[in-house]
Chain A
């Protein structure tokens, strides 16, 4: 027993020292733990669970971001659909209103022309065109109901169109200036040489009875001369396109300035207009006279 005790057991002093050491270390550990010892375990748990918390936080952020992006994508899609429908509606509306806008523009231009020509002009719409046919013309929507008679001049802001060929109760037909059987008394702008315009079709016409002695330049403006008592003097007819000397007279080809194929609204001159139309006289504004002695 003594041998075993000596072999396995400690001495009394050794046990005392171990106890002192344990006491001292225990107290030291207790001191080092500090106030609220549970916080150390909580902190250790926080440290250990930090990677998991980071992953969970990133996962939650990713899900939130995906949800937000999905929502924004859906909202964007819905907005795109709404805008597309709105665009289609606006396009339809614009297509529906385009003729009215064109007509309004045409009306404004006609109104400007009407103000420039101090005559009692009447307006009418072109409802049909038979120009491609032989001896074709333009059909207007007004006739005798508007007091129209045959041989009234027809014009647009770009130039003259022709004259009324026949007038019905509610419709009338225009003989265009480029028709082979049409004739308009014209004059050249520079030389003031007069002639008769005869149609060649397709917006072209030929001036007859211009002497070979006259000097005609290509591009020269051709105006009405007023001698036919259909158009007053000075309305634009077209521009000289080609000049060739003939046996007895010059062959002067003219491009009509009025777009005969695209006319939708016209103005009708009164029957038997005056030979020459004076532009409207506008009296200058009188300055208010200042009395003497007044500031």
Chain B
């Protein structure tokens, strides 16, 4: 069964909300990393409209790095976010979603790739740095935020909740 794409308005609203959460979670870096990954990999990608996704990803990356205030040269996370968002949007168009399990598996793969690419880009941009536990929390909480985004974007409200 082919799942229809979410509406652009809902997706953009969710992205805006997530971006606001990225700023609001600045005192809690681990939570901020999870929200940032959620925005970049789950909410921003959209098949057929790469520009919107790239802009949200760039905004998420600059917001995340800017609030962290750790690196001497910013931009690595934003570039990795843009790349992964483009890849996720391409994957969404190339392999349309067919269920929650595929969505979670795709997100897991994207989280791993995102982690590696972010740290590579940050190393290129700012030099050696500490990785931090954000990627771990993002991967650990993947079922939770993956399920939530699945419900918010692709499957609509829960039938049980009405």
Give the B-binding residues of A (Cβ under 8 A).
16-17, 19-20, 23-24, 27-28, 30-37
Contacts and interface: CB of A to CB of B under 8 A. Distances in A.
Nearest to B78: A27
B45 interface: no
A35 B126 CA distance: 5
A28 B61 CA distance: 13
Given A16-B49, A16-B51, A35-B125, A23 B73 contact: no
B126 A34 contact: yes
B83 A24 contact: yes
Interface of B: 49-51, 54-55, 58, 72-73, 75-76, 78-79, 82-83, 86, 121, 124-127
6 contacts: A20-B51, A24-B86, A30-B75, A33-B73, A35-B72, A35-B127
A32 B127 CA distance: 11
Contact of B125 (A19, A23, A30): A30
**For the complex, would chain A's binding face be called helix, strand, loop or mixed by DSSP majority?**
helix
Contacts of B76: 31
A35 B49 CA distance: 32
Nearest to A18: B51
A36 to B, nearest CB: 7
Contacts of A23: 54-55, 58, 82
Contacts of B121: 31
B34 to A, nearest CB: 23
Contacts of B127: 34-35
**For the complex, would chain B's binding face be called helix, strand, loop or mixed by DSSP majority?**
helix
B73 A36 contact: yes
A31 B50 contact: no
A2 B134 CA distance: 52
Nearest to A24: B82
Given A24-B54, A36-B73, A31 B49 contact: no
Nearest to A27: B79
Given A16-B51, A17-B50, A20-B51, A31 B124 contact: yes
Contacts of A19: 51
A14 to B, nearest CB: 11
B54 A20 contact: yes
Nearest to B54: A20
Nearest to B77: A31
A12 to B, nearest CB: 10
A148 B50 CA distance: 142
B40 to A, nearest CB: 14
A10 to B, nearest CB: 13
B52 to A, nearest CB: 9
B124 A34 contact: yes
Nearest to A12: B51
Nearest to A30: B75
B20 to A, nearest CB: 22
Given A32-B124, A35-B127, A27 B58 contact: yes
Given A24-B86, A27-B82, A33-B125, 13 more contacts: A16-B51, A17-B50, A20-B51, A23-B58, A24-B54, A24-B83, A27-B79, A31-B76, A32-B125, A33-B73, A34-B127, A35-B127, A36-B72
B86 A35 contact: no
A205 B107 CA distance: 140
B79 to A, nearest CB: 4
Given A16-B50, A20-B86, A34 B125 contact: yes
A34 to B, nearest CB: 6
B54 A35 contact: no
A32 B75 CA distance: 10
Nearest to B49: A16
